[in-house]
A and B are shown apart, each in its own frame.
Chain A
Amino acid sequence: MTLITCLVRSPSRPATPGALEAVARACSPRVVPWRDEAAVFDASGLDRAIGPPARIATEVMRLSAERGLHVRVGIAGVTTTAWLLAHAQPGISIAMPGREADALAPLPLETLKVMAVGPAAPIGLRVAPDLECLEILRRWGLSTLGDLARLPRGDLHARLGPDGVRLHQVASGEDECPLAPVDEVARYRERCELEWPIDGLEPLAFVVARLCESLEVRLERADRGAVVVTTRLRLVTRTSHERTLHMPAPMREPRVLRTLILLDLESHPPEAAIDIVEIDLEVAPGNVVAGALFDLTLPSPEDLATLVARLGALMGETRIGAPVLVETFDGRTRAIKAFKATKAIDAIGTIEAIDAIRANLPMPGWSLRRLPLPIAARVCVEQGRPVRVTPAARGLPGGPVKQCAGPWRSSGAWWTLDRRTWDRDEWDVELPGGVYRLARDRATGSWSIDAIVD
């Protein structure tokens, strides 16, 4: 005999998050939780252990009361009936399997509104009755679910379409599909309430290490790795300090997690002493990588994440990464992106990409050293070409120009009418102290040393 039980939180009493689901899972492994408001579970077989449905309902009520919950219980042979009964009536409501329609018959038509739980609802409860449809039924003179169930289904379909049929099924105590249980979501969260507030990262390190170690045990048991780590610090000022870290790969090594969390907090410290420390993980299947004899040694994701975090704390988060080529004619533009150590097996494709880049760029026998802040210079020009350069900085030697090549004119972003606009002539000049790239701003006529040829 199929027995479906629905637990619904009393509207006037709030429930602790997850408490309803915990009660349901204590009774059955086949559970469908719905937010913190309701839970449906398959109670089939409990009748042999506990007794008739009334005894089962009483036991569920007792179990809920032990956990401080005030609930309504509905039991029926189908999910929608149990759901309707639990929502419509306080206390315990029971519809014996096969007699659901009789139990539903006296309920008012408006009861169907509780089926509107939205598209995210578990399968079997996604009825979402159209309110206009209910209004039509009311205009027909129907007032109870029994009235609706007595109508011929074919005629109802002709007038109201599939929505009308679905409502008729619900009123008749029929399910569209069987209960689809949801696996319990394992939460990887550790929390520590401190007896005395702690101020500073050094004492916090011990607390974080302990939390990470206990999380690592659970992660290893479930063969999971953390992909997102959220650290919540409750401060003595009653405010919360929250930081979220995204891992480059699933990882569970407690030493790595602890280091990453602490380095991040070092860069973004809390404003006051800490009362409560909580670490919450989002997990993914563990990253099992078998090493190969002929693979090149690359930094492991754990080592790389730690390294980047340490470097970020030292140099600044925005100063670490892989350089990228920006699609612009302004050679001064530089950009950076997150660095990932790709596998060596990608090397062939990468070499092709490099060759493509090299085909499109000049292949000089020299490289440039860009000056992030160009140095102003006074330049004497004869016959349109620089003949003498005097830099404003003492460290750079000036003097007569031995050789020069140019100008190479470039301009861009003139359509933006802001400071990104550039219009310049560039020259390569050889001075007694080296070869430099000079630039002349065509708008102002000012000269600067942009780069050193090296």
Chain B
Amino acid sequence: MSSLAIKRLESALHARHFDRTLLNRRAPGGRVSPTGWTPLDAALGGGWARGELSEVVGARSSGRTWLLQATLAAATRRGEVVALVDAMDRFDPRSAAAAGIDLARLLWIRGPALTAEHTRSTLLEAAVSKAVRAFDLVLRSGGFAVVALDLADIPPRIVGALPLATWMRIARVNADRDTSALLVGDAPMSRSAGGVSIRLAAVGVWTGATAQQRRLARLDLRADVVSARHGQGALQVGA
């Protein structure tokens, strides 16, 4: 009797598209977009789920941009097209090319050239609002394998000033589409909208015995995977 009631409740939630956030459910054989980082792909069951809104968060130099570019590179190498909404115009094409992104397959939407560290809150809020609208437009258009919104380096209080339903609405827009929607930021934004949330931390690895030989070799990444699907406990992935 109780199982019947649970099934009814689940179907009611499914009918209202709330099952993604409340239930530990993932469609079997659902399509994914590989992240381009093998340990993380293994932890996520292949990569970012399509039709969901996932996020990568972390402090500066935690490898957020590297993971974003690795994801975009993996998609463009398969011949798919991707889009990046660059809220603060901080995308570096050279780094992207070095990461393996086919730049011709990347739709780059550049926000205003602001310095978040200098700019007044009102301007930043306007830039974030525009970026979210652009993100929404690209997702609605369809046909992109990965659509990312880069809100990194924007103070969390500015992102937090967005209406509460923003991410839920965007997650609904992307539901059942063949697109992985990805947010990149300093702090968690859309955890309630379903999808996967990755918290990154990194340590710089420097090589060279002398001062003249020293160079930054790589960032040693560590990812905490937190999501509705992995609700039992956070997974940790190391480089």
Contacts and interface: CB of A to CB of B under 8 A. Distances in A.
Contacts of A321: 107-108
Contacts of A336: 108, 110
B141 A372 contact: no
B93 A324 contact: yes
Contacts of A394: 117
How many interface residues does chain A have, given as a range? 35 or more
Contact of A368 (B94, B100, B204): B94
Interface in A437-452: 451-452
Given A395-B116, A395-B117, A452-B61, A323 B96 contact: yes
B219 interface: yes
A299 B92 contact: no
Contact of A350 (B102, B115, B137): B102
A107 B15 CA distance: 90
Contacts of B60: 433-434, 452, 454
Interface in A315-334: 315, 319-325, 331, 334
Interface stretch (B166-174, B208-216, B230-238): B208-216
A368 B61 CA distance: 9
Contact of B59 (A331, A345, A403, A434): A434
Nearest to A374: B115
B134 A315 contact: yes
Given A300-B143, A375-B117, A453 B219 contact: yes
Interface string B47-63: 00000000000011111
Contacts of A299: 81, 141-144
A117 B94 CA distance: 57
Contacts, number: 220
Contacts of A191: none
A224 B100 CA distance: 39
Interface in A273-312: 296-300, 303-304, 306-307, 310-311
B46 interface: no
Interface in A329-377: 331, 334-336, 339-342, 344-347, 350-351, 353-354, 357-358, 361-373, 375
A103 to B, nearest CB: 66
B143 A303 contact: yes
A345 B79 CA distance: 8
A280 to B, nearest CB: 28
A430 interface: yes
Given A300-B143, A364-B216, A395-B117, 13 more contacts: A296-B145, A299-B142, A299-B144, A304-B143, A315-B134, A323-B93, A336-B110, A347-B77, A364-B98, A367-B96, A370-B90, A430-B206, A451-B92
Interface of B: 59-66, 68-69, 76-81, 88-111, 113-118, 130, 133-134, 137-138, 141-145, 152-153, 155, 178, 204-206, 208, 211, 214-219
In the complex, the 8 A-B pairs of residues with the closest C-beta atoms, listed nearest first: A365-B218, A347-B79, A299-B143, A395-B117, A393-B117, A434-B61, A372-B113, A434-B60
Interface of A: 296-300, 303-304, 306-307, 310-311, 314-315, 319-325, 331, 334-336, 339-342, 344-347, 350-351, 353-354, 357-358, 361-373, 375, 385, 391, 393-396, 403-405, 428, 430, 433-435, 451-454
